[in-house]
Amino acid sequence: MSVLKADHISIQFGGLRAVNDFSLDLQEKELYSIIGPNGAGKTTVFNMLTGIYQPTEGSIYIDGKLMAGCKPYQFTAAGLARTFQNIRLFHGATVLDNVKMAHSFKTDYNFFNMLTRTGKYHSEERRITEKSMELLEMFDLQDKKDFFANNLPYGEQRKLEIVRALATEPKVILLDEPAAGMNPNEIDDVVNLILRVQKELGKAILVIEHHMKMVMKIAEYIKVLDFGETISEGTPEKVQNDPKVIEAYLGGHANASRS
């Protein structure tokens, strides 16, 4: 079943066509990757798929629901979660509170319950705390639950960001360069985490990543963008041997000016 579908989406900023005729059909439990040189349009695609930008043409569906005109929070409510290239945690809050705040997106109490501290409020808070601790334990962060997020090592901050995304109970997760700035050991950790999220939790995952060794290790299907156009797609083996991909990364385009 398709959990995220982009049907011939394009976007234009003034006279610049940043992404042209991009399509994607991500099924349950699949792990896809979008790659391409800097300025190829990868983040612009992610911004369309999460409601930050509205496509000029084409349509986006989450779990079969047309998302035309929807805001980012409505994309989240429909079952999509996203991490960003630049870590976006609540650095002055604890690790546990970071996860609880993400869980609270789907709380079952209202403002009155919270204000008057009703039994429903307390039971929901217990449930959120338990769910948050389950996720932290799954990814070996339970011993850091009382640490402030900004005191975690960089690799664990990346891991916490993925845990926060899971706390919204998504059908599909979009990861924007999850290995950015990591050392080899940290990259191995995040690879194992992503594969666990896919295989044990059954989530569909779409990854933007520059670290080609990582992409080839985890992706089942890859789409390659260059100057907003899809120039290749298929299995890792097919893509890495495609002359167009080799040219985009190593040939004339690699030295071209990009916006």
- d(CA 219, CA 213) in angstroms, rounded, equals 10
The mean of the pLDDT values for the chain is 89
Query: Residue range 67-81: average pLDDT?
Result: 94
pLDDT tier at 258, thresholds 50, 70, 90:
very low
Identify the residue with better confidence: 208 or 210: 208
Residues 35-62 have pLDDT tens digits of: 998 889 999 999 999 999 999 999 999 9
Write down the number of H helices and E strands in the chain. 10, 10
Judged against a pLDDT cut of 60, whether residue 254 lies above it is answered with: no
pLDDT tier at 239, thresholds 50, 70, 90:
very high
The torsion of the CA quartet 186, 161, 217, 235, rounded to 10 degrees, works out to -160
pLDDT for 38: 86
CA dihedral sign, ordered 175, 170, 53, 239: positive
Judged against a pLDDT cut of 90, whether residue 82 lies above it is answered with: yes
Identify the residue with better confidence: 168 or 257: 168
Looking up tokens 């940043």, which residue turns up? Answer: 18
Q: Residue type at 223?
A: K
pTM score, two decimals? 0.86
Contact 184, 213 (CB under 8 A): no
Domain limits of the chain? 2-255
Domain 2-255 CATH superfamily? P-loop containing nucleotide triphosphate hydrolases (3.40.50.300)
Query: Residue range 128-137: average pLDDT?
Result: 92
pLDDT for 165: 93
What's the full length of the chain, in residues? 259
Q: Residue type at 156?
A: E
Judged against a pLDDT cut of 60, whether residue 245 lies above it is answered with: yes
pLDDT for 253: 43
pLDDT for 86: 79
